[in-house]
């Protein structure tokens, strides 16, 4: 059909596994024109049954691997999503702790300044009241956000 010299190949599936043949060298999308001339004679029936059984076992095993892979990928996706949620929670906690730590450091600094007499008691009291008011507003906003959620 293609007016080309045939190529010698070896069959690799089914009951003809291992048999040599001459085939068309032109392959379009993995399919050739179908011209085949066998070099070797057919295998004995016992060998053909054995090859058939081996290929059946191979396909069964391969199908099991595909199913196991799909199951593994689903489980992996589930674990990843749980990990991302936990990571987001930990980041929020970390941010909250950093904010609280900064406030604590500022409060301790103010306390030492007040003890050393560097800050007037009225100014200090006013700062404390402002911080308490700010904290109350923040808590109210958080409560509203939690209620909305």
Q: How far apart are CA 65 and CA 69, in angstroms?
A: 6
- Residue-wise pLDDT for 11-49, tens only, equals 888 888 889 988 888 776 666 677 678 898 889 999 999
- Residue-wise pLDDT for 89-106, tens only, equals 999 999 999 999 999 998
pLDDT given for residue 53 in this prediction: 93
> pTM of the full predicted structure?
0.39
Q: How far apart are CA 74 and CA 72, in angstroms?
A: 5
What is the average pLDDT across 108-113?
A: 84
CB 19 within 8 Å of CB 10? yes
Extents of the domains making up the chain: 1-43, 44-147
pLDDT given for residue 97 in this prediction: 94
């Amino acid at each position: 059909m293609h007016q080309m010299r045939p190529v010698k190949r070896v069959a690799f599936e089914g009951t003809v596994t291992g048999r040599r043949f001459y085939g068309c060298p032109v392959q379009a999308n993995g399919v050739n024109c179908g011209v085949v001339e066998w070099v070797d004679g057919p295998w004995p029936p016992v060998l053909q049954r054995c090859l058939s059984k081996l290929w059946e076992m191979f396909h069964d095993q391969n199908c099991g691997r595909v199913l196991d892979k799909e199951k593994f990928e689903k489980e992996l996706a589930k674990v990843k999503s749980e990990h991302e949620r936990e990571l987001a929670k930990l980041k929020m906690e970390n941010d909250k702790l950093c904010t609280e730590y900064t406030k604590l450091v500022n409060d301790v600094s103010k306390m030492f300044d007040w003890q050393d007499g560097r800050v007037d008691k009225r100014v200090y009291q006013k700062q404390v009241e402002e911080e308490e008011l700010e904290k109350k507003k923040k808590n109210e906003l958080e409560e509203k956000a939690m209620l909305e959620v």
